[in-house]
Chains A and B, each alone.
Chain A
Amino acid sequence: AQRVTQPEKLLSVFKGAPVELKCNYSYSGSPELFWYVQYSRQRLQLLLRHISRESIKGFTADLNKGETSFHLKKPFAQEEDSAMYYCALRVGNQFYFGTGTSLTVIP
């Protein structure tokens, strides 16, 4: 069965420090993975997708099939990065979400 695991419920880092939000997945097929973000008082929205290999707001995520991971990274955290982050796996028409990590960037 497919599953997405985000081991950290809460993560705090200082402004300017690197940040890494962990995501591991379980899926026998070829995965399509995404990161979604929810800022305070805003809707859940797409941050980035692995297939695009893009950097959004300074965030990147690399798919590691050997480790079945899709960790989200940013070299220098900013206060505006404080938000709830969800890793998601798409299988067919369905998306499976992790439990989310609440990131707080301390000024």
Chain B
Amino acid sequence: NAGVTQTPKFRILKIGQSMTLQCTQDMNHNYMYWYRQDPGMGLKLIYYSVGAGITDKGEVPNGYNVSRSTTEDFPLRLELAAPSQTSVYFCASSSSGGATGELFFGEGSRLTVL
């Protein structure tokens, strides 16, 4: 049982490039989340989804896009990478919007924009 899988684990981008961070979960969870974590800061919610076809903005959505075409996948798209997007990105999922408080996290993706 893989849980939440994120790819890639590391990536270096040039300013203006675009990329997609992939996230997939095999637990049949309805809720999925994307967080970013900057050094010395807590996790900030970028986007989340309560089910296939439904997405909502979190605290820091600017510069990102998401889609949720299937229950399993929740990719995060950076269209025009900027140095401010250098961060560690975490994908998470839960079965009931975190009603039990349990988010299942991926291992993280470290992105550097130069």
Residues in chain A within 8 A of chain B (CB atoms) = 4, 6, 9, 32, 34, 36, 43-46, 49, 51, 86, 88, 90, 92-100
Contact = CB atoms under 8 A, between A and B. Distances in A.
Considering the complex of A and B, which 4 residue pairs feature the smallest CB-CB distances, nearest first? A49-B101, A97-B42, A97-B43, A44-B105
Contacts of B103: 36, 44, 46, 95
B109 to A, nearest CB: 13
**Dominant secondary structure of chain A at its interface with chain B:** strand
Interface of B: 3, 31, 33, 35, 40-45, 48, 50, 56, 58, 90, 92, 97-98, 100-103, 105-108
Given A49-B100, A90-B101, A93-B50, A43 B106 contact: yes
Nearest to B43: A97
Nearest to B33: A95
A97 B42 CA distance: 6
